Structure 1
């Protein structure tokens, strides 16, 4: 999505930056993992296909993607490359042409050393806040593969409720409607987040 191509979101644990071609080699290495392919229901791509995918994620109006950086690592050494601080990604897909206020959210903590440290929780809250304030979203969905317990726990902790199960796709759909109290709660949870110009 071109809307976020110049946006950097600075949280306590993670920094969200637009997915650029510089991130592709590391991302491609991650997606060779059979475990990540299974958890994200992804097919392995060639490096060339990964570059094509990155371009589509940047340019398509229905996809909003940020790469997660480990904030501590990124801030500790000025001049550190983003690629060396990458922890995962977080995505919003505007999948319902009939309802532009619903976004499907996904998060992946690909770097094993970054799991279990609250990166996913903060990234999802930051992305939901971005979706509500910048994209006008009022409903979120998460599709989670059966057996992906960490993702179930994360989204249930954030008040998502299971609304459907697909035995064909072996996944459950969780949903959260953004009422006014939920909106206020979400903005409070992300009040520390600073929005900066990416590579100004």
Structure 2
């Protein structure tokens, strides 16, 4: 994940920033939700385990078991120019995994809009497009996959609107696999969809006073 540790991507609705230790407490609160655990096929972790997970995502060199790229999704309107702390503007996260050691051009993308009030308002769509564009431009990704629980019809519909096609169903894990091959036409479309995005340098926020990273 070090490739994007100093990168901010600012869009119209969302701003993407690297996942740092300052974001962990809010992220931990999200993942206590049984709904999010179900939708993301995740197990609840302690706060200490979440800090360790964040460190491993930042530092782990084994790209098959840790995201190649992770961004926290912020509400641009709340964050930009208002001197608000990141954690006050957090909406969700977006991840890109390299899951095939023999094909580094294949990226598996995950998006989570954790705050219920932000769902269905285009935040997930813009964050996904921004991550895909970043992957194409900076990581050489030419193929994307998304694995989504069969019950998550909203996410399945969103990815299909982004030109993904359903290529498989896993009845054991009850998930659907969708895929997008980025040829010249799709690449041009993707870059056009994200030509408003500004890339900036990121300054990692400090932990609140009295907070200890465990």
Fold similarity call, TM over 0.5: yes
TM superposition shift of 1:31: 0.2
Partner of 2:212: none
The alignment covers a number of residue pairs equal to 199
- Of the structure 1 ranges 91-100 and 52-61, higher mean CA displacement relative to structure 2 is found in 52-61
Partner of 1:179: 183
Taking the aligned partners of 1:97 and 1:169, their CA distance within structure 2 comes to 22
- The 5 Å alignment of 1:35-50 reads 35-50=35-50
Taking the aligned partners of 1:76 and 1:9, their CA distance within structure 2 comes to 15
What's the CA shift string for 1:55-102, capped at 9, x where partnerless? 11112342110000000111262x211001000000000010010000
TM superposition shift of 1:116: 1.1
TM-score with structure 1 setting the length: 0.97
Cα RMSD (Å): 1.0
For the 8 Å contact 1:2–1:60, the answer to whether it is kept is no
- The 5 Å alignment of 1:185-200 reads 185-199=189-203
TM superposition shift of 1:113: 1.2
- The 5 Å alignment of 1:8-23 reads 8-23=8-23
Task: Report whether the alignment pairs 1:107 with 2:111.
Answer: yes
Look up the SS of the partner of 2:120 in the other structure.
coil
Taking the aligned partners of 1:11 and 1:126, their CA distance within structure 2 comes to 8
Look up the SS of the partner of 2:109 in the other structure.
strand
TM superposition shift of 1:162: 0.5
Look up the SS of the partner of 2:107 in the other structure.
strand
Look up the SS of the partner of 1:87 in the other structure.
strand
Partner of 1:92: 96
Moved over 6 A (4+): none
Contiguous gaps of at least 5 residues in structure 1: none
Look up the SS of the partner of 1:195 in the other structure.
strand
TM-score with structure 2 setting the length: 0.91
- Of the structure 1 ranges 169-178 and 60-69, higher mean CA displacement relative to structure 2 is found in 60-69
Taking the aligned partners of 2:166 and 2:201, their CA distance within structure 1 comes to 36
Partner of 1:70: 75
Contiguous gaps of at least 5 residues in structure 2: 205-214
For the 8 Å contact 1:143–1:172, the answer to whether it is kept is yes
Look up the SS of the partner of 2:80 in the other structure.
helix
Partner of 1:148: 152
For the 8 Å contact 1:9–1:17, the answer to whether it is kept is yes
What's the CA shift string for 1:133-156, capped at 9, x where partnerless? 000000000000011011001100
Taking the aligned partners of 1:60 and 1:129, their CA distance within structure 2 comes to 23
